[in-house]
Structure 1
Amino acid sequence: MIRPLVRGVPDAIVHVTRPVLFSFATPIEVQVRGYELDELREATDAVRDELAGIADLRDVKTSILPGSPEVQIVYNRDALARLNLDIRSVAELVRNKVQGFEATKYNRKDRKIPVRVRLKDIDTATVRELEDLVVNPGQARPVPLSAVAEITLGRGPNEIRRIGQQRVGLVTANLAGSGLGSAAREIDERLAKLNLPAGVTTAVTGQSEEWETSSRSLYLALGLSIFLVYVIMASQFESLMYPMIILITIPLALVGVVWTLLLLNVPVSVLVILGLILLAGIVVNNAIVLVDYAGQLKERGHSTDDALALAGQVRLRPILMTTLTTVLGLVPMALGLGDGAELRTPMAITVIAGLSFSTLLTLVVIPTIYAGVDRIFGGGVPESREVKLLREVRAVTPEQLAPEVEVPK
């Protein structure tokens, strides 16, 4: 929307960027690495032309631009040797005459002003006048600069950028209408088919590289959080099976998150994964309440089906209350009101969607799986001392309870 509005502004150079959290790089950056500047310039232009053909990329630019005009002096070492001249002394002499050198400093109170000495009107001299510069002053036979060097007009590099002690040309672009991952994959496919000079390599960096690095760390954090939740529940329940049943609420929450993100067109980002890490510790609470109370009812002598039915009735209200308080507390954050809303909204939407969906399925799926596991493993939860004692008492007959009395004859 912005580009058509500013396209007709005369003499205006417009750069369109999009705000991105936790990043100072453009969405797409391709590093073209090489050693020779000419080959690096050609390869960078080829990569830029290739990226310009991708429909979802905008503002494709390269960091290697034509430099300012300059006078280039290439010395002839053989000619200098025949005239018994040193290339270093000749180059310093030409530099001092053209650019000047600091001869002294003028002291003015507490300031020292450098005094630079150079040839008069050298800043407006032509190439012909530079060729007539004498490179051996004080000698019997003056030698002009044109006799020992070739002077030409050319353009120097605009900048020489190095990354990892290697010359690099950057090709940057913005995204429009596609995801970062799909655009990076298409760029990799196109770069693989591009014929570049020998010794020139490419690498897709920018926000795509940052996303890959951060996503690996976040996936590790997500797996570690699930493992710690399982360890804590296993130690409390003194069972390895029933904590696994409770952990099923995590994929149930993930289903709700995926559908909600697709419905609201929210891209997967670092904040979404942070919301998933929070869900790993939140969604298990409802299942813990349900499974724990069902286990208590079984210890009191109830069957598995009766314990699950009674636990669902008794624990329904606490489960709904805890879910609603969390969801309603995150609603203002999910609405995206105020500055910095893009930082809060994806994480809040993730937690709300996952917690709401998992709560609805927890009341149906968890009791079903619990009953199935009980039937397969024969009750699963070990009987407590009270249940064993109650069963032993019920098994005792009245004759066994009555004391033996000797009747006198």
Structure 2
Amino acid sequence: MTVLLPTENGATRAYVPRGDPFRPSGTAPLASRTVFSAAHVVADPYADTSPDGPAAVDWDATLAFRRHLWAQGLGVAEAMDTAQRGMGLDWAGAAELIRRSAVEARACGGRIACGVGTDQLTGRPAGPVGVAEVRGAYEEQLALVEGTGAQAILMASRALAAAAGGPEDYLELYGHLLRQAAEPVILHWLGPMFDPALTGYWGSADLDAATDTFLEVVAAHPDKVDGVKLSLLDADREVVLRRRLPQGVRCYTGDDFHYPELIEGDAHGFSHALLGIFDPLGPLAADAVRILDTGDAAGFRKLLDPTVELSRHLFEAPTRFYKTGVVFLAWLAGHQSHFTMVGGLQSARSLPHLARAYELADGLGLFPDPDLAEARLKSLLDVYGVAR
């Protein structure tokens, strides 16, 4: 069966679906790398809400998807930017997501780490937010996450980026949070390609200077830092940084452009993973790591390298809208019954972009039921008026 996919010039081109889904070779726990998938949320398509209203979440489908990831042997990174944190999911929704997912993780023995930020400050009455208020917001969220028994991920804060006067404010605030953290946390450095409001994070737009400040925070509290998560899309910088980490502090790659080589590593070390692309790649990514667990680096790369084209497509500029492609693929794969997102973000990518995402994902065998994926794609094409 041929599918006519729309192109950017208004024409269509024929594509023949692969037809046979990828089937993982095993279910053994992952051993050589710690791997988190940042997970998306499933919207409630029947909620009478607006893009600027509170997020309406389909909790059953959202938690079912997390069970799917845990079943692959992956950890879940909860309430991160992949879950539209700050792009449709407000703090009230994120807090409820954290509470529910933590309960689910305990029930099925899944690993979970949750984002701690300052987004309760968003939408507050007009007026500047000071560093003290940012600290209080972080403390509130850290207490909630640790109270659920989940590991904390200290996310980059838009409010801190706006309020900080320089590197010293970052050093003081993060030092304060790490001293009071009950368990080692993951420090998250999200680059401006994911969120332009984070430009100049760690007190400088110069990435070398910012890196020095970031590493100074880690070096001062190595016992409270499980690892650092880098989302800068710069493989060389990540390699240099991870070699400078204190002994025992992990590097979790968040580089959705170069993850195979970073996870494989080199003679000096490797990166673990905390990736949004592992939301649609879950079973395949877990299988690749199991191959790596056996010492077969070539087999690992053979399986994972072909996924990079899809990842680069989903995360192409403007990168922050990658969530649309992730949810689109979840719909095609049968993990949810609709293509609706909180905040109406399903409109953030073009039809040709989505069609190419389908083609690349199908080529990897990511759809458990290829006929369902094809039928759902065609229903979307019908909505857009694409001639068959």
Do both share a fold (TM > 0.5)?
no
TM category (shorter chain) comes to: under 0.3
TM-score (norm 2): 0.22
> Which structure carries more helix by proportion?
1
